[in-house]
Chains A and B, each alone.
Chain A
């Protein structure tokens, strides 16, 4: 059909343009990370350097504290993702299925927590965590990140639970399950896509968080990698090559994580449950 050719081409071009726009910074990250230092400023603007090198990667891994930052980030993001997902599953289920008197207020309160600019809260949170010995510790970061991510994750999980017909757990309860068994054996397996999405969302949020990590942590021992990236900025120069190499390395676990969960993200597990 000739008449539909033009819209199709325009559509593809638009998508292509968007992909270029979205991926170009990543490409630039990669390009700078493999450019030798002496070519970085001498070659002008080129899409790809005349010579490539992996020395920045070697430097980052061998001569910087980056492995420590990396380990800290994995611990903090992983723990936050798990804690938040467990809490959000339970609270999301409650909001989706039960009606109780304080429900409205709890939802309003959770929305309220999402309204403040985080910068406003840095000082009070520091004041609270400091006497508890939770500044400069990974546990402190996990607590703060969890607290900030639970409300949104709860709403996210609630919408996934809302999409699962009530009939299923009622059938399970009539079949002889308690509500909790029905939740665990029937509802949770069907919510895996939602759980995967929540895990992924919270993991990346914690992975790239800079503000609190910067304010609550000093010193290299408990620093996460966004803070660590700043160490490549010194008083008189910025080591762009190593910084970009570290950035690329930091992308790997996030990418790997999404590779693991993407199967659940795209899968519609509820198909066939009820008449569609």
Chain B
């Protein structure tokens, strides 16, 4: 196991810049999730750590050693691909033992490593099968087995669950977490799915446009997003945003109406701000209490209910566990509690605690 230190890492294809200077220290045994929308550079960053992409500028260190110029085979890392990338002409056992056979490990060592991994992943009945005779989940397990067998310094995951259906994804997510608890292996996991990021990570690295937006524990990112991007990306259904001018007693929207909020910071008075509030923090009342809002749409999810509202013409989503919301009238009262408001300045940077 090893730490990975990334210093001012940049990547450009010709004049097109993809990563604009990434700094990140990954501690030994840590589970890091790189999350962001498509094209944010997270996969490129992972592939650079693996050695599959050249480094344009900056440095990658694994265990204190610079690896920029090292070939993937000399970095001693394992990677699980989104496509699984199993060798179709080899059996499951051969797939898992390939790295050890390349290293000319002793036959008994190889056999022991393969059987230990296959046992852990429940692959014993399939060892002699070819990948094409396996289901998606089983292929995914083989890909993980191939990574475990060699006991690498670090595991890299490139959207490993994206090709699975929802049920299986949930199950494999738990297995990956269990595996990490077992092996305590330094892991870097790329995903665009913020649920995977929240559930798996010790720390999340939120990326956008080739820049790291925030690094922190899942709850840190959820409770105190550093900027508008993180606030909007983490959480489902997503955070509600209200844009306007901060005034005493609330927020003056573009159309001139006032949204009653608790105390906004005095420093911001008169400035353009964005107020964010998570759907589960919006409080619903009977009509007449709080601000009046029009009900647009009600989506029952079984677990809870998502209510789409129009508040002074702005769309607001509310998540509630209260089933009486199902039968609410065309209008409803809402309040946005002051303690749950997120405040961002005109540049989208978080203000206050």
Contacts and interface: CB of A to CB of B under 8 A. Distances in A.
Interface of A: 165, 167-168, 170-178, 181, 186, 189-190, 269-275
Given A186-B87, A190-B88, A272 B133 contact: yes
A181 B72 CA distance: 13
B85 interface: yes
A181 B87 CA distance: 14
Nearest to B164: A275
Contacts of B133: 272
Contacts of A170: 50, 52, 72, 79, 81, 85
Given A172-B98, A173-B52, A272-B130, A167 B81 contact: yes
Which of B51, B81, B163 has the most chain A CB atoms closer than 10 A to its own CB? B81
B60 interface: no
Contact of B132 (A171, A175, A271): A271
Contacts of B150: 175-176
Contacts of B77: 174
B102 A175 contact: yes
A186 B95 CA distance: 11
Given A165-B83, A172-B98, A269-B89, 14 more contacts: A170-B50, A170-B72, A174-B51, A174-B52, A176-B73, A176-B99, A176-B103, A178-B73, A190-B88, A269-B88, A272-B88, A272-B130, A274-B85, A275-B163
A14 to B, nearest CB: 34
Nearest to A271: B132
Contacts of A273: 83-88, 131-132
Contacts of A181: 102
Which of A173, A175, A181 has the most chain B CB atoms closer than 10 A to its own CB? A175
B71 interface: yes
Contacts of B89: 189-190, 269
B11 interface: no
Nearest to B81: A167
Interface of B: 50-52, 71-73, 75, 77-79, 81, 83-89, 98-99, 102-103, 130-134, 136, 139, 146, 150, 163
B88 A176 contact: no
A171 B90 CA distance: 14
Contacts of B78: 174-175
Contacts of A272: 86, 88, 130-134, 139
Contacts of A271: 88, 132
5 contacts: A170-B50, A171-B146, A175-B98, A176-B103, A189-B89
Contacts of B136: 275
Given A272-B133, A272-B134, A174 B73 contact: yes
A153 to B, nearest CB: 23
Nearest to A165: B83
Contacts of B86: 272-274
* Those 8 A-B pairs whose CB atoms lie nearest each other, nearest first: A272-B132, A274-B83, A167-B85, A175-B99, A171-B85, A272-B131, A273-B88, A176-B102
A186 B81 CA distance: 16
A3 B102 CA distance: 60
A170 B52 CA distance: 7
Contacts of A167: 81, 83, 85
Nearest to A175: B99
B83 A275 contact: yes
B102 A171 contact: no
Contacts of B99: 175-176
B83 A172 contact: no
B73 A173 contact: yes
B98 A275 contact: no
Contact of A177 (B102, B132, B134): B102
Contacts of A177: 73, 102
Given A272-B88, A274-B83, A173 B98 contact: no
A275 B160 CA distance: 11
